[in-house]
Amino acid sequence: MAKRKRANSKSDGASVYVGIVGLGYVGLPLAREFCKVGARVLGFDVNSKTVATINRGRSPIKHIPNATMTDMVRSGQFRATENMRDLSKPDAILICVPTPLTKNREPDLQYVEATCHTITKYLRKGQLVVLESTTYPGTTREVMLPILEQSGLKVEKDFFLAYSPEREDPGNKSFRTSTIPKVIGGYGKESLRRALQVYRCAIETLVPVENCEVAEAAKILENTYRCINIALVNELKMLFDRMGIDVWEVIRAAGTKPFGFNAFYPGPGLGGHCIPIDPFYLTWKARQYALPTRFIELAGEINTSMPEYVIQRTADALNERRKSLKGSRILVLGLAYKPDIDDVRESPSLELIEMLKAKGAKVDYNDPYIPQTHKQREYDLRMKSKPLTVKALAGYDAVLIATNHSDYDYAWIVRHAKLVVDTRNATASVRGGRSKIVKA
């Protein structure tokens, strides 16, 4: 691992002019780190509302405070724009756009491809283009390069190309963008050199690798590792439940071993932009080499089945109380995919709500970070967060804990709810009302 200390003063980054395409949970934190060292940053986004919000000095995501965004904009270092003609201005263009799956669980690179086609119109000699979006090995070379060379410019001669996967973890207070080691793979030696030169001013530790494919594969490995281990504990959760064993207590006990064990935790399904998606990118690519990735595909099947398991556990719990799921009033606690953030990308809560509604339940949700839902690629719930009150809780047949936000007073919730279905072990420390709690 090559360690390079980040610039110690703003003057060290003042010569860097960076363009960032996609001003969301990856692009904005990256922009913040470059601004901290005095670099100029031009942000690009197709969402006019996002651009306007940023240019007013307001942050569109929770974990970047409004005060930080105001400082970035007022300093003159950072500006957002919808005008793609300005792509010719920065020395480096960092692409941070979504890479979702199609309905058939195949890679959907439409945003990467569209961005590259746009860059091609304005690409100039000497520019560096870096993809940060998670994808399968070969994307930079096989998908991006042919599009970019339609400009008439040649890679490693007229422009430079690299891949450096994002490693954002929204809400993680132990790490931030600048302190997470950054893997960088260049198309060639000069592309790598220039990418290292750009990132070294804002990121403390750089990890250069042989080429783009190694960097792409490293990101896939990181998230496939997590996906498989989460699938294991999800399967054990279902097994241990039938055996009358608390999987959370098992994990706690196993976690006391000081070597050879890393704790992973079950849940109602996978959320976030990476773990539910990345392994399927790899399985799709593997089929081109006639090699089935059975282990990864099985993990994916287990994880995607968890919302159905939660619904069944909820239905069983209601049935024991002489209630049917159809017609029952259900409150889903937590819409975000993980605690204490406002990110709903691939959140299992969305699927849980749709499945409950499809079975005839009357569903509301509460999330202190998400006052109302917004239209997404696969979901358009058109719902608003319901306030938590004693009267409201008492009116629901079941409260389903889907996200364990620290803002929630779980003892208070259990006290006033008729039934609590806990998918996150959030009620572990609650002493009273245990007969109301069902683990799922």
Which residues are catalytically annotated?
274
Q: Hey, how many other C-beta atoms are within 10 angstroms of the C-beta on 375?
A: 9
Quote the distance between the C-alpha of residue 413 and its chain's center: 28
Instruction: Give the span between the Cα atoms of 384 and 182, in whole angstroms.
Output: 38
- Secondary structure element (H or E) that encloses residue 234, with its range: helix 212-243
Cα–Cα distance list, 225 to 76, 262, 309 (Å): 41, 11, 23
Quote the distance between the C-alpha of residue 349 and its chain's center: 14
Cβ pair 302, 335 in contact under 8 A: no
Cβ pair 77, 41 in contact under 8 A: yes
Backbone angles phi, psi at 186, to 5 degrees: -100, 155
Cβ pair 267, 440 in contact under 8 A: no
Cβ pair 301, 295 in contact under 8 A: no
Reduced to 3 states, what is the DSSP secondary structure of residue 44? Answer: strand
Give strand pairing partners of 400. Answer: 332, 421
Cβ pair 336, 403 in contact under 8 A: yes
Instruction: Give the span between the Cα atoms of 161 and 148, in whole angstroms.
Output: 9
> 374 Cβ partners below 8 Å, 6+ apart?
none
Give strand pairing partners of 129. Answer: 93, 161
Q: Which alpha helices (H) appear in 2-131, and where do they start and end?
A: 27-36, 48-55, 66-74, 110-122
> 56 Cβ partners below 8 Å, 6+ apart?
73
Cα–Cα distance list, 213 to 20, 96, 338 (Å): 22, 18, 30
Cα–Cα distance list, 431 to 132, 407, 428, 436 (Å): 46, 18, 8, 11
Cα–Cα distance list, 437 to 330, 404, 428 (Å): 14, 15, 10
Q: Hey, how many other C-beta atoms are within 10 angstroms of the C-beta on 431?
A: 8
